[in-house]
Chain A
Amino acid sequence: MVNENLEKLRMLLAGQFSQVVDNEFILTSEEELRPYECDGLSAYRHLPLIVVLPTDIAEVRAVMRICHRNKVPVIARGAGTGLSGGALPREDAVLLSLARLNQILEIDAANLVARVQPGVRNLAISEAAKPFGLYYAPDPSSQIACSIGGNVAENAGGVHCLKYGLTVNNLQALRVVTVDGELLEIGGSGLDSPGLDLLALMTGSEGMLGIVVEITVKLLPIPQRAQVAMAAFDSVETAGQAVADIIAEGILPAGLEMMDNPSLRAAEDFVHAGYPTDAAAILLCEVDGDNEEVSEEIARVRQRLLDSGASEVRTAADDAERARFWAGRKAAFPAVGRISPDYYCMDGTIPRKHLPRVLREIAAMSEKFQLRAANVFHAGDGNLHPLILYDGNKPGELERAEEFGGRILELCVEVGGTITGEHGVGLEKINQMCAQFPPEELSFFHAVKAAFDPETLLNPGKAIPTLNRCAEFGAMHVKAGDLRFPHLERF
């Protein structure tokens, strides 16, 4: 019965969409829908009701008007590389792919901005800006594939955030189609705009507030030179202390990454980066700037790392070695993928000083859940990516991996951190939101959502849990035993 109704709805929408979008870009058969069943979090899969791929803003607006009129939920999707299930389809929802809005509209070098469509790949922006001596700074590891629209939706980070910020710090303006098909202009040609900072509110909102259809990003001059030092440590604690020592030295590295022994060994086996496989942990510390600055700073970094107890420090002799040092780090996830049938990537952020405790407890959990873990860490900004190794074909292992991951995130909250640094909540971490936020704050998020999308048609069920869900999950924050808003429905 339900399926029959959905089938009718699919046909109805296909008919209405065909008035505004070419038929070949309206996908309805199972065969066509299958490629859209998941994003980068492939453990969760659903077929969408229908997929529509508009080609410009006018078509996006027309599609949104149709969905709004029919009260059908809409899930926006960029390149589908997200790691938290933010673009996971629903059988009763339209999947709106922005992949065909893939044009770089303008590189305005004199104003240091680029105006691009959401389907443009992150790296393509820097490639287009390169002839002008400019680049776009945020560089998530998936930058060869991920789209800038998805970066905005997730407030994507990367390995250079400590110095250059996240997506939110590198945007200047957005054009956004609202749930009812209107076009919002947020931001402008200047560095600020009147009123409230809706640019910040939209960034990282996971497709819950509107459909981003055009993005003006800031560009920066390409640094004259970058230099990286790799340091080996006998213990994770010493490596953690070395990070604090570098910061205390007054150096702001462009990148500061840590890998523990399991992850550095996997990476070494995979790409032969030249990592010392007997080290308990390695640090990669990159400084960039002009020639003079880099020469001065890399010498200070080297000395500091040695003084902090590094057993070995190597400075990349040339660009080829620098690229090799980074290749190991950037390939850490697929490298771990080679040593385990499946892995589950977590994304907590902690105050850095708690790193030794958090890694100790992850090791203890690894024993308890009988699953291996490898740790990759954006050490400079406290963003930890534990990779939990499991085999999805062994009964119960996925569930154990999820429980293990959930516990890690709750631990991050316990030490004053957060359940997601850069991958987003999506569907994956929705239960852990209940551990991080008490009901009054969750209610507040729902109110913000209602200001944009009163009928909750945009990406329903993601990012912000209902109070009811939190009550069922059992991790509802209850301050001093007194539940606020007892009159509220726990829907």
Chain B
Amino acid sequence: MGDITEKLQQQVRKAFLERTPLRIQAGNSKHFLGNPAEGELLDVRPHSGIISHEPTELVLTARAGTPLSEVEEALAQQGQLLSFEPPHFGGEATIGGAIAAGLGGPRRPWGGAPRDLVLGVKLLNGEGQVLSFGGQVMKNVAGYDISRLMAGSLGVLGVILEVSLKVLPAPPKTRTLMLERTHADAAREMRELCRKPLPLSGLCYLDGRLYVRLAGSHASVNAWKKRLGGEEVAEHNTFWQRLRDHQLDFFQRNQTLWRVSVGGNTPRMSFEEESLLDWAGAQRWVYASAKPQDIRDEVAAKGGHAQAFRNANQVDVFQGMDPLLLGLHQRLKAHFDPHAIFNRQRLFPHD
């Protein structure tokens, strides 16, 4: 618990000089994400602690190794939350890892992704310099948006030391309704609900059941509950938490789990034999027997991408990138991390 910037900086400088790879890790709850990184462990977990939380400014700043649970508890005490609902995956997830992974939970279409809430970062670049970008204010357009670029970068650009986030008031009332539906009806109904001014914070379809989470003022949530009908889910927080953290039975298979990110209204694709629709259809968890390249071609034709999220088993984790875009990625990486010491291979398989 504390500030170990100097220790981390020394390790990075040494790695820079010796050109040895480092594997950045905090809680290690998302070890399966991306390609396996190689290198010596750079343990960020002891770099921990909430530096400031000013509820009336809607800003929280914490060191990267701070456990997500600690952050969420501090926020909850003030009636606030992280609106992107980051997954914990049952482990000791940290705030730094949540930002570096860039994943949003079921609330993402309405609450944003980590990149939407990042206001500033302090980072260690590949030469061991400490740099600060962004800040602790809501609106800031001075300089390029490096802090948002760090969100979802899987550590390949630098080590996140500190992050400042916009935090939001927790809705006064949350309820979940369950409606029995066919896949086709649920897919259509989710999109219709998205177009109405509804206090939504979750739309998920699994095993013939459409789950609708309403979050807003008491009056509004209660009124919409009446209008939508269906059955109220008791202990509903458990359901959404198990969905967020992949603890539902659906996720317990030793088979490649595909994450398909696509326009929510995209019709059911040919390989979607067994799927769970989250984010009102914009994030689909799929087990498929089709060939990986066929899956990717079909998804690409719909403007989306497919990630082999778990149990990739020899399959490329990420959808291939246009050579022009890849070139830009490589040039950016070379500026942030000139000797390519950070998380080699994790985001780009061939660096």
Contact = CB atoms under 8 A, between A and B. Distances in A.
Interface of A: 108-113, 132-134, 154-155, 157, 161-162, 165-166, 168-169, 173, 178, 182, 184-186, 188-198, 200-201, 203-205, 209, 221-224, 244-245, 247-248, 250-252, 289-290, 292-293, 295-297, 349-353, 378, 380-383, 416-425, 429, 433, 436-437, 440-441, 444-445, 447-452, 463-464
B61 to A, nearest CB: 11
Contacts of A192: 102, 113, 152, 261
Contact of A451 (B131, B136, B137, B335): B335
A418 B140 contact: yes
Interface in B84-137: 102, 108-109, 112-113, 115-116, 125, 129, 131-133, 135-137
Given A111-B263, A464-B144, 8 more contacts: A111-B265, A169-B116, A200-B149, A245-B56, A250-B172, A421-B139, A449-B144, A451-B334
Given A194-B318, A382-B137, A444-B131, A182 B324 contact: yes
Nearest to A206: B141
Top 10 closest pairs, chain A to chain B, by CB: A189-B303, A190-B261, A200-B148, A292-B219, A421-B139, A381-B138, A189-B263, A451-B331, A110-B265, A293-B220
Interface string B284-323: 0000000000000000001111010000000000110110
- Interface-centre pick from A190, A203, A297, A420 (highest chain B CB count, 10 A): A190
Contact of B325 (A111, A198, A445): A198
Contacts of A209: 144
B281 to A, nearest CB: 9
A444 B150 CA distance: 14
B86 to A, nearest CB: 14
B229 interface: no
Given A110-B265, A196-B332, A350-B137, A185 B145 contact: no
A173 B304 CA distance: 11
A112 B280 CA distance: 11
Count class of interface residues, chain B: 35 or more
A349 B145 contact: no
Given A110-B265, A436-B142, A247 B58 contact: yes
B143 A433 contact: yes
Nearest to A161: B139
B325 A418 contact: no
A449 B332 CA distance: 9
A161 B58 CA distance: 13
A444 B191 CA distance: 42
Interface in B197-224: 197-199, 216-220, 222-224
A197 B115 contact: yes
Given A198-B325, A200-B145, A190 B55 contact: no
Contact of B56 (A224, A244, A417, A440): A244
Contacts of A224: 197
Contact of A420 (B56, B108, B141, B262): B141
A244 B58 CA distance: 10
B350 interface: no
B170 interface: yes
A136 to B, nearest CB: 14
Given A224-B197, A289-B220, A417-B137, A168 B142 contact: no
Given A417-B137, A445-B143, A450 B335 contact: yes
Contacts of A380: 138
A452 B328 contact: yes
Contacts of A132: 195
Contact of A247 (B55, B143, B195, B217): B55
A417 B303 CA distance: 38
A174 to B, nearest CB: 12
Contacts of B217: 289, 292-293, 296-297
B259 to A, nearest CB: 10
A109 B263 CA distance: 11
B143 A196 contact: no
Contacts of A161: 138-139
B328 A188 contact: no
Contacts of A113: 263
B136 A351 contact: yes
A445 B195 contact: no
A132 to B, nearest CB: 7
A165 B197 contact: no
B195 A418 contact: no
Contacts of B74: none
Contact of B318 (A195, A200, A296, A420): A195
Contacts of A290: 197-199, 216, 220, 223-224
B168 to A, nearest CB: 6
A204 B145 contact: yes
B200 to A, nearest CB: 10
Contact of A189 (B108, B304, B326, B328): B304
A227 to B, nearest CB: 13
B55 A169 contact: no
B101 to A, nearest CB: 12
Given A222-B197, A251-B169, A441-B132, A184 B142 contact: no
B196 interface: yes
Contacts of A186: 325
Nearest to A436: B142
B139 A381 contact: yes
B142 A433 contact: yes
A247 B276 CA distance: 37
Interface string B135-178: 11111111111101101110001000000000011101000000
